[in-house]
Amino acid sequence: MHVMEYKDVVYGPHERNVLDAYLVGNEEQPSPAVLFLHGGGYVGGDKDAVLSTKLMKECIEAGISVITANYRFITKYPFPAPMEDGTRAIQFVRHKAAEWGIDPTRIATAGSSAGGHIALWNALKGDLSKPGSSDPVERESSAVSAFIGYGTQASKDQRFYEGIYEGPHIQPNLKLFYGMDSIDDLYTPKFLKLAEEASAINFMSDKAPPVLMNYDYVLDLDNPRIPADAPVGEVIHHPMHGYVLKQKYDALGKTFLLRHVGDPLRAGELARFLLDSFG
């Protein structure tokens, strides 16, 4: 299959607002597309991370274009900057749809770890367009058809762990993420409000798109919780994040596939999930 590549395309005003596009559609036969956001704790990582993934391979083979974007780091730009970059990247892809041979009605997002939460936050928030903006990109819809996450957090609120984790760890980089002077401010009213606004799970609704979330840890369905002695990397990437969100999806009868070490991804499942979601 012929793939047209565009590298380091500027999608916004900041230095990390660049993306790469791997396009398989054309004007006569537009393709669906998935936008991928890399992981790295909001302080590192790069858009090239998508190149070695099963998602990239399966999508290209299935005729789904792949776009992969960088976003601002919280070392200089705390919340909501990374989320806003995710919004704009989606809008930019839709803005370029005709030129890039993409079907604007069939755009999904995906992401790993921090990038997964940015993409999930946007997926559950829905359309954040600004119809009256003078910027044509901002006038585009940011709604998506589906979301795929790898090791994705459902929440940036430390209270999320109450009842599912009794260990000592807090999420890394929270001080940077919220722009706090001290981590001791975490439970003050100002930052609890920010935590609610930053947590994707809080925006779950009956309009939420289909979701597939994959994790590299074991989920014990007989006793679903995060082990108290789990290292911090497991705490923030544990399938309990997906499990808790899945309960909300199930209550609304909406599609949510949860994959983990005990129930791993099937061959070709990523592309099939996307194509089913696109309809």
Query: What is the predicted pLDDT for the residue at 20?
Result: 98
CA 99 from centroid of its chain's CA atoms: 25
Q: Which two tokens stand for residue 136?
A: 């044509």
3-class SS of residue 52: helix
Query: What is the predicted pLDDT for the residue at 130?
Result: 98
Query: What is the predicted pLDDT for the residue at 16?
Result: 98
Tell me, what CATH number does 263's domain have? 3.40.50.1820
pLDDT digits (tens, 9 = 90+) for 182-216: 999 999 999 999 999 999 999 999 999 999 999 99
Query: What is the predicted pLDDT for the residue at 143?
Result: 98
Which residue in this structure is represented by tokens 């995060």?
226
Cα(174)–Cα(178) distance, integer angstroms: 6
> How many domains does one find in the chain?
1
pLDDT digits (tens, 9 = 90+) for 51-96: 999 999 999 999 999 999 999 999 999 999 999 999 999 999 999 9
Q: Listing from the earlier edge strand, what are the strands of the sheet with 102-112?
A: 4-10, 18-23, 65-69, 31-37, 102-112, 147-150, 211-214, 256-259
Query: What is the predicted pLDDT for the residue at 123?
Result: 98
Torsion sign across C-alpha atoms 181, 184, 188, 193:
positive
Examine the pLDDT at 4 and tell me if it is beyond 90: yes
Length of the chain in residues, anyone?
279
Which H helix or E strand runs over 222?
none
Instruction: Tell how many helices (H) and how many strands (E) occur in the chain.
Output: 9, 8
pLDDT digits (tens, 9 = 90+) for 123-168: 999 999 999 999 999 999 999 999 999 999 999 999 999 999 999 9
pLDDT digits (tens, 9 = 90+) for 222-252: 999 999 999 999 999 999 999 999 999 999 9
Domain range spanning residue 21?
4-278
Query: What is the predicted pLDDT for the residue at 1?
Result: 75
